[in-house]
A = this chain, B = another copy of it.
Amino acid sequence: MYEERIRRADLRSRIVSADTAQDMVKDGMTVGVSGFTRSGDAKAVPRALVKRLEQTMEPMGINLYSGASLAETDTLLSEHNVIMRRLPYQSDRSMRSRINSGQIAYIDQHLSHTAEWARNGLLGDMDLAIIEAVAITEDGGIVPTTSVGNSPIFVQQAKKVIVELNVSIPLAFEGIHDIYVPENRPYRQPIPLWAPSDRIGSASIPCDPNKIEAIVITNEYDSPSPIVPPDSETQVMANYILEFLENEVRQGRLPKNLAPLQSGVGSVANAVLSGLKTSSFENLEIYTEVMQDAVFELFEAGKVSFASSCSFTLSDATMRKVIPDIEKYRGKVILRPQEISNHPEIIRRLGIIAINAALEVDIYGNVNSTHVRGTHMMNGIGGSGDFARNAGIAIFVTKSTAKHGAISSVVPFVSHVDHTEHDVDVLVTERGLADLRGLSPRERAKIIVEKLVHPDYQDQLWDYCERAAVKGGNTPHLLSEAFSWHECYDETGDMRNLSIWKDDLVPQLHQTPSSVTV
């Protein structure tokens, strides 16, 4: 059985049930799992582990490292308090609450950096890797499924490997992946990739067959991505970006088919990318970390000639169309390790146009991608920093308000900085687009307030800028009020209450002279 999928005969005897395999997970272990933004994740073994823990009631703690966010595994393992340490990204509600209460030590990392840490021993010994695969080759090579993530480095570093062989993913996936693992320093060579379609590695993850201690057969698709459909505001934002890119072409700063595009995880970025369907651009290339529905819509619309990423993260409907028909995309898509999809060397070389979502931005162009009101982790920085820092053009998008207008996404000072002013070229809201390139901080503030801010907040932000400018500096601020918008929201539930909230304050003994005039 499974001759086609387990091509090395001696490994076929290692097929076991998930219930048997899960027993390899022991208290205190460091476990690396496949999975990137809900796709290609190990499914059966974590589920069986939780079943055991429910039955035995034994306490257990493991360090769980992945490519990016997982689906059910993050939910189940955090609900059962199994996870001590987690990196580099997650997006799960249960896990998030334990991260924010301090129960889980969460290391929010650039997605291209984890492999370097693993290689350098900074993640400690990797006791076990659990990797979803479509096949195992004659020499033990593991052919991944719908994502590559950090699986190559985890397999390389792990003492033992469990393979979840997912027979619902067609064997035709073999050849879609391109596995290239940079050498150890100081012997590392340039990565020989200079176009998104370049193949530089192997079709499977090299693995010593003796490390594969168990193979578990599974038969289920990835948990679908809950894609929010584009709305009128995201279409407007896409149109601003289209106009901007068209102008870059006219100015001779981009070729007619642009530069390879990256678009971050999530609905807004997906919707914005999807908006390119209506553009006049052709032969677009994608070099990104995650292909969401929008990429396949662009393929359908004949706009994209090639797409490289690290995972497919699709809605249920798109998954059911694309997965069985993957043959159709052979020669048009590549899945790479996240170290390569997000590598600064490649991103800088290709001059990628990077489009990522922001949680909040400030008047000088700093971006918060991760922390709600500066303290509570939402998901993580993901690959946004890998791309923004090294991109040809780094674009961040956010709607101008959140919570039905009670929160302005543009504030005096972001409550957490993930991307500094040095790394942000263009900001977009449904109100407009601000091209910050070549502008000083004071100039940036002017264009940001003018073009991006919701009218409900514009006067209030002008007021801050003007009073701050009096205090002076290259980057004027009133530190005593820098976070007042967040404080006002915390206390009144609406940032629009700022002036009332301030008037309520007893005389501000410790305000600086320039701010006494409030």
Contacts of A473 in B (CB 8 A): 100, 371, 374-377
Does A501 interact with chain B (Cβ within 8 Å)? Answer: yes
A117 vs B437: C-alpha distance in the bound complex, in angstroms?
A: 9
Q: Tell me the interface secondary structure of chain A in the complex.
A: loop
Most chain B C-beta atoms within 10 Å of own C-beta, residue among A195, A351, A381? A351
A277 CB to closest chain B CB (Å) equals: 23
A469 vs B103: C-alpha distance in the bound complex, in angstroms?
A: 12
Q: Is the CB of A475 within 8 A of B371?
A: yes
User: How often does this chain occur in the complex, in copies?
Assistant: 2
Q: Is the CB of B474 within 8 A of A106?
A: yes
Q: Is the CB of A371 within 8 A of B480?
A: no
A260 vs B422: C-alpha distance in the bound complex, in angstroms?
A: 25
Contacts of A348 in B (CB 8 A): 343-345
Does A385 interact with chain B (Cβ within 8 Å)? Answer: yes
Q: Is the CB of A100 within 8 A of B504?
A: no
Size bracket of the A interface: 35 or more
Does A471 interact with chain B (Cβ within 8 Å)? Answer: yes
Q: Is the CB of B418 within 8 A of A259?
A: no
Task: Name A122's contact: one of B188, B437, B480, B501 (CB within 8 Å).
Answer: B437
A351 vs B120: C-alpha distance in the bound complex, in angstroms?
A: 10
Given known contacts A110-B422, A442-B102, A190 and B349 CB-to-CB distance under 8 angstroms: yes
Closest B residue to A479 by beta carbon equals B483
From residue 211 to 240 of chain A, which have CB atoms closer than 8 A to chain B? none
Q: Is the CB of B439 within 8 A of A475?
A: no
A174 vs B130: C-alpha distance in the bound complex, in angstroms?
A: 56
Contacts of A381 in B (CB 8 A): 422
What are 15 sample pairs from A and B whose C-beta atoms fall under 8 A apart? Answer: A101-B472, A110-B423, A116-B351, A185-B350, A185-B392, A186-B259, A186-B351, A344-B344, A366-B417, A374-B473, A385-B389, A385-B422, A491-B510, A491-B512, A504-B509
